Amino acid sequence: MASWNINTVRIPLNEHCWLGINGANPASSGATYQNAIVNFVNLLHQFNLYAILDLHWGGPGTTLAIGRQVMADQDHSPAFWTSVATKFKNDPAVLFDLYNEPNTISDSCWRDGCTTSDGWLAVGMQSLVNTVRATGATQPILISGNGHGNDLSGWLNFKPNDPLLSLVASPHTYNFNECVTESCWNSTFRPVAAVVPFVSAEIGEDDCAHGFIDTYMSWLDSVGAGYLGWGWVTAPCGTQPSLILDYSGTPTNYGIGLRNHLLNLTTQPALNSLTLK
């Protein structure tokens, strides 16, 4: 990974595995899971890489999380972030990504929480920011947009308050999202990037090519933003954006676009990286 000229790796986490709850296999959850993440983060640091810890999968109640929900849940997500932030609060090379791709909720729910259409209580971004800061953690906090992370139209109006003024706007942008043109980026992304640090925490395309990300990365470079390619995973072309053919790092045709762009940069963005899966 380091040979691609990256400086950051984003690590998706499962809140139930981290907390060791809801039937998660005790052999690979709880303390075992946490220690594996700590060890991997330390390995990344040996290669001078930052780590972003991302709450990727979670869910309310007692059913094991095996996917993404519309928003973080009040039942377990605050406990997850209390634990994660406490464990990593003294590591300045770690950042926190509060929730992966909120969707089909209002902007007020995104910030303040609500009862979802399925009847469970979602916790808002403001409460999660408060939870992280209550541990004493001072690192930057990434906050994705609504609309599967791609919609930043309400980000500034509903931006949570952070006493440390260290929030990062973090959209996810794929060729199959709604905001996929320079016109949209200029109208909805650029105003946000002018006010707060901006890192597109997932970029990609599902057409086995790299024309879309080439255009998007150049636009991000023009506004001084960072970006992370999804994902460091081997998967058949077209099933999901897969950067590699094997875990030796042989790039796919899509991955060639990200790798070559990073290798040709004369100035690195604040964060440019890969997302593991």
Tell which CATH classification among 3.20.20.80, 3.40.640.10, 3.30.365.10, 3.40.50.300 matches the domain 2-276: 3.20.20.80
Nearest in space to 113 (alpha carbons), one of 101, 104, 126: 126
Q: What is the pLDDT of residues 213-234, one digit of tens each?
A: 999 999 999 999 999 999 999 9
Closest CA to 162 of 197, 199, 129, 195: 129
Residue with tokens 């090519």: 209
Strand partners, 11: 53
Tokens of 142: 């990434």
Nearest-angstrom CA–CA distance, 256 and 262: 10
Residues 271, 199: contact at Cβ < 8 Å? Answer: yes
Query: Could you state, in order of their start, the residue ranges of all structural domains in the chain?
Result: 2-276
Contact (CB, 8 A) for 169 and 154 = no
Q: Is 98 helix (H, G, I), strand (E, B) or coil?
A: coil
Structural tokens at position 273: 């990286």
Residue 7's pLDDT band, with cuts at 50, 70 and 90, is very high
pLDDT tens profile 50-92: 999 999 999 999 999 999 999 999 999 999 999 999 999 999 9
Is residue 277's pLDDT more than 60? no
